[in-house]
Amino acid sequence: MVKRYLETDMKKRYLLFAGLAVLLSASACRQETAGQAESAIEQADSATVVLRLQQCSRIYSTEYKIHKIITNRDQMKLEGNIINRKVDMPIPSGTRKIAIPIDVVIKGYTDLSQISEKNIKVEGKKISIILPDPQFAVTAVKIDRKNIAQTAELMRSRYQEQDINRLTRQGVNSLHKDLPWNEFLETARSNAAYTLFPILQAMGFKEIHIQYRDNLKEDSKESLLLFKTIEERKS
């Protein structure tokens, strides 16, 4: 029996670009709140703050661009039993290899719709807020098809479109194992707090304390890293 033997080598090379992204949703929210500062809320209670922050929805506070090369080696093997002996041997000229360069964009955000009054304490002009955990999503994946490198020996066919897309999906889904999540989380937290300060100041608060839970969910890194549609790089 002839069986293809897949040996996926997830050797990766990363070029990581991290940057602050105070995106449209946050700035629109800030402008709207600042516009109400003229009519001045002398003293906002917890319910008012919750309503205002929930209107802001998501604050996108970080963006990371990652360059990754996915490699795969696909070896055809002869496996079975011959004269009561187990056979497991590579077939000559039965190997193919591929290297797929991709660019991935990951954005970090804070979902303010999760805030409730139990997360907010108002004491006159002083406010303390516990924000939800930052979340991360893959928002774009581009395959650099012009620079895909592959070889196929005599007994093998070249990698097809469905093979490339499958390997790309596997590579993106494995990102959570290798990225510096502690750094990502701290950046997302500090940038979200930086974005919220002027919003709360516009509501009349003079002393502002923004905190996060200490027991961050261990599985949040993986469960909230979402795979989006593959887009081709055309240039």
User: Beta partners for 232?
Assistant: 143
185-198: per-residue pLDDT in tens? 889 889 999 999 99
Orientation angle between helical segments 46-56 and 24-35, nearest 10 degrees: 140
The token pair at 102 is: 């991709």
Please tell me the distance from the alpha carbon of residue 214 to that of residue 77, in angstroms, as a whole number: 51
Please tell me the distance from the alpha carbon of residue 207 to that of residue 164, in angstroms, as a whole number: 54
- Can you give the pTM of this predicted structure? 0.69
Q: Compute the CA torsion angle 134, 187, 18, 9 (nearest 10 deg).
A: -60
pLDDT at 15 over 70: no
Gyration radius of the chain over CA positions: 25
**CA-wise closest residue to 46 among 150, 124, 122:** 122
The three-class DSSP label of residue 47 is helix
The enclosing H or E element of 166 equals helix 161-173
In the prediction, which pLDDT does 82 show?
73
Please tell me the distance from the alpha carbon of residue 189 to that of residue 212, in angstroms, as a whole number: 8
43 falls in which pLDDT band (50, 70, 90)?
low
Please tell me the distance from the alpha carbon of residue 137 to that of residue 43, in angstroms, as a whole number: 36
Mean pLDDT score of the chain: 76
Residues in the chain: 235
Which position has the token pair 């802001």? 56
Please tell me the distance from the alpha carbon of residue 66 to that of residue 225, in angstroms, as a whole number: 14
Helices (H), the chain: 24-35, 46-56, 161-173, 181-202, 220-223
126-135: per-residue pLDDT in tens? 999 999 888 8
Please tell me the distance from the alpha carbon of residue 122 to that of residue 124, in angstroms, as a whole number: 6
In the prediction, which pLDDT does 160 show?
95
